Each structure stands twice: as C-alpha cells, then as structure tokens.
C-alpha cells in the first residue's frame, strides 16, 4: 500500500477488464474527468463497452506538485528538469550555499530558503499545494566532515528532521531521500547490496545514516512513505546542466580542468591497492540515470510505502581508467602526479543495483564510462568556468 491523498475508483459496467491498454484508458479517464475536484475518497461510475475495470489513482491521472530541496544543486537540478519534462509542477527550495541559481530551469518556481528555518518551511507548505518532497539539500564532502562533524550533523541530520517535522505537520506523506553509499563504509564485499552492514567510516556517511534511521521511525509512527537511494559518484552532464562544485573535489571534473589548462596535473592518491592497476576502483553513474531513478521511486511510492535501493552502473572503474578515458575523449595528455594513499580510502567501492533493476525496471542509459566523460567534457567546454559564465535558466 502506498501514500496517496485521494483515490479515484473508475468502474466500467460489465465484466472485469483484462489486457487493456492502461495508458490509453488513463488518458480517456483523465480527459473525461479533468474538471472534477475533491478532497476525500470518491467513486465514479462509468458505463463503457460493457467492461468492468480496476481502480486508478487520481495522482496517476494528474500532474503533481513536487518540492525539491537542494534543487539548485548538481543532481537536484537534473531531477527538476526531468520532473518538468513529465508535466509535474516543481518548487525548488535552496539556500544557494552550494547550489547555482543558473542551473534551475526557468519554468520551475524558485524559493530561496533554508531547511533550518521552520517558520519558512511552514509558510512554504501553507502557501503551496505540495504532493511530495524530494530531498537533496546536504553537504557532501567526506573529508571536510571529519574536520567539522558538527557542520554535517547540523545540516544533514538536524535540518532534515526539521523538514520532516514540517511535512508531518502539513500532512505531506511522500518523501524521496538522496542518501549515500557511504553508509556502508569499508564494505565486506563488492558489489554492495542493500542488506549489507551499515558501518560508515566518516561523519558524512553517519549524518545520512541517522536520517535513514529517522525515516524508518517516521514511517512506523507517522505513516510516512519514503524512499532512500544510495549511490557513490554522480558524473556527466545533462544538456545545459553539469557539475560545478566550488571547490571541486571529484575526479572527472578535476581531470577535465587539467585538459582545459586550468590545473597543472591530476593527483593519484595511492598506486599500491589490491586492484588490477593498483589504483582505487569506484562506481560512476550518469547524473541523468540517477535522476530517472529518483522519479521512478517517487511514482512507486503511490503503491509502496518504503523503498530502499542502491544505485550503480554495473561495474567500477579505476582512477587510471578514468584518467585514460579523459585522455581519449579530450585528446589531451593529462599529466599525473602520484601521491600517498589518503587515510580511509577503501580499495573498491561498487554498489549493486540489481534490486531496483528487477523491481522497477530501472536501466542506466549511460553505463559506458566514455559516454559519461564525453557528456561532462561537452558541458565543460561550453561552460569552462561553470555557471558563473553563462546562465542556463531564466531566474
């Protein structure tokens, strides 16, 4: 059973309908009843072709209004674009401490605000009709989290609790959480499955794990329907939306900066790991594929009340493989500087996505590393200094 506000039961006089064209049927029903409004459960009786059909959700027939916190960020902005493409109304709520206003599509409603501000959240929910919340607002630097743990527990954990309390107060019951595979710490096996032990080795991962624990209790006590998606490295670009962190710490954009002459070399931290070429192996997933998974679980929460999935593209790539791929794509030499291992870096981090593939038929479109890097390179050449140079949106 999932989380829905209003249920529309459509009955057709006659025998039970099997093997009908569901999309065509929904379009027919939607066209016939687009003017109907209501707040409770109601039933519509329709006679058509002597057929008796099962019920549909009103939410399946109508566009939704979705709040995206952190929607000016790298992943959040791509999710916003995909929501708009499927006809949903989107409200982006972001304090712009890390996000880029220029990444927000013009036809999304943008509100600058902080999830730490409960009064602002109450106004947000009072003044806007919101069906679901997708939560991306978080700090993500694992290294910094080990220097400033209080910053991560306050923003990632305490502020998310603030958001959840506001949701419950305003009776919003669907929540999609952008979690992290850092929950697993140094894994006992790879690829990592959803049931593997949660043992984060940094306070970034710990701050997200606390949120997942809160979600489980809110589900049990308040009936919150939620999905948590765990993944490692988002990469690539989606049209005019790309990766633009300040400061940048991710391998692919850093290596592309070398190709553009903005950085002298790329560092390899550790060359003696128990991997085929001695460098760390990591899971890279295209940001568009990540976004599509978020949309899938948002829809599935109409039918299910709890979803937890790992996301990956099926295999890992070593640091040297990534650098060699950037060389091929950019036709640049990419000087390398080898350095000592960084404390806490596991040799291999790869997440299994078999569960979401089987249950929701999610299939990454960009599983090839070269395609991921090429999309990032195309964006970086168009925006060599990031969003500071050109605006994607009309905000």
Is residue 232 exposed (0-12), middle (13-18) or buried (19+ Cβ within 10 Å)? Answer: buried
Q: What is the DSSP code string of 146-161?
A: TT-HHHHIIIIIIHHH
- With vertex at residue 55, the alpha carbon angle to CA 14 and CA 4, rounded to the nearest 5 degrees, is 170
Q: What are phi and psi of 296, to 5 degrees?
A: -60, -45
How far apart are alpha carbons 80 and 103 in whole angstroms? 10
> Looking at the DSSP assignment, which residues form a beta bridge with residue 12?
46
Find the catalytic residue in 74, 152, 204, 284: 204
Question: How far is 95 from 137, CA to CA, in rounded Å?
Answer: 9
CB proximity list for 361: less than 8 A, separation 6 or greater: none
Rounded CA-CA distance 96/27 in Å is 39
User: How many CB atoms sit inside 10 A of residue 170's CB?
Assistant: 14
Helix 159-169 to helix 118-127 angle (10° resolution) is 40
Nearest alpha carbon to residue 288 among 210, 220, 375? 375
Backbone φ, ψ for residue 222 (5° rounding): -105, -5
340/272 Cα distance (integer angstroms): 9
Length of the chain measured in residues: 395
Distance CA 70, CA 113 (A): 10
Placement of tokens 């549909």 in the chain: 56
Give the distance, in angstroms, between the CA of residue 77 and the centroid of all CA atoms in the same chain. 10
Strand partners, 67: 91, 133
Is 74 among the catalytic positions?
A: no
The catalytic residue positions are 204
């Amino acid at each position: 059973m999932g989380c829905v506000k209003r249920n529309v039961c459509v009955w057709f006089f006659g025998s039970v309908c099997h093997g009908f064209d569901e999309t065509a049927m929904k379009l027919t029903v939607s066209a016939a009843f687009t003017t109907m409004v209501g707040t409770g459960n109601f039933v519509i009786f329709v006679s058509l072709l002597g057929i008796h059909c099962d019920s549909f959700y009103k939410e399946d027939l109508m566009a939704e209004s979705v709040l995206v916190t952190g929607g000016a960020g790298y992943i959040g902005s791509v999710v916003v674009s995909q929501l708009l493409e499927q006809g949903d109304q989107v409200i982006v709520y972001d304090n712009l401490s890390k996000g880029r206003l220029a990444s927000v599509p013009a036809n999304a409603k943008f509100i600058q605000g902080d999830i730490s501000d409960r009064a602002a959240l109450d106004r947000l929910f009072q003044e806007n009709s919101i069906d679901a919340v997708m939560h991306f607002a978080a700090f993500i630097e694992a290294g910094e989290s080990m220097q400033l743990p209080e910053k991560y527990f306050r923003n990632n954990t305490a502020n998310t609790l603030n958001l959840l309390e506001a949701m419950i107060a305003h009776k919003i019951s669907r929540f999609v959480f952008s979690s992290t595979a850092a929950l697993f710490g140094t894994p006992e096996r790879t690829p990592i499955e959803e049931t593997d032990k949660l043992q984060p080795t940094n306070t970034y991962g710990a701050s997200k794990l606390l949120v997942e624990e809160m979600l489980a209790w809110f589900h049990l006590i308040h009936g919150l329907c939620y999905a948590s998606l765990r993944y490692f490295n988002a990469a690539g670009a989606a049209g005019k939306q790309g990766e633009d962190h300040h400061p940048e710490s991710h391998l692919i954009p850093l290596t592309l900066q070398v190709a553009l002459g903005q950085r002298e070399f790329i560092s390899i931290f550790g060359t003696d790991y128990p991997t085929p070429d001695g460098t760390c192996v990591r899971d890279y997933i295209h940001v568009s594929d990540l976004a599509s998974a978020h949309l899938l679980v948002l829809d599935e929460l109409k039918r299910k009340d709890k979803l937890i999935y790992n996301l990956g593209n099926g295999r890992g790539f070593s640091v040297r493989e990534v650098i060699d791929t950037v060389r091929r794509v950019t036709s640049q030499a990419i000087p390398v500087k080898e350095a000592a291992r960084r404390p806490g870096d596991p040799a291999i981090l790869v997440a299994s996505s078999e569960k979401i593939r089987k249950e929701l038929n999610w299939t990454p479109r960009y599983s090839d590393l070269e395609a991921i890097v090429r999309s990032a390179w195309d964006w970086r050449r168009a925006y060599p200094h990031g969003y500071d140079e050109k605006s994607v949106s009309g905000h």
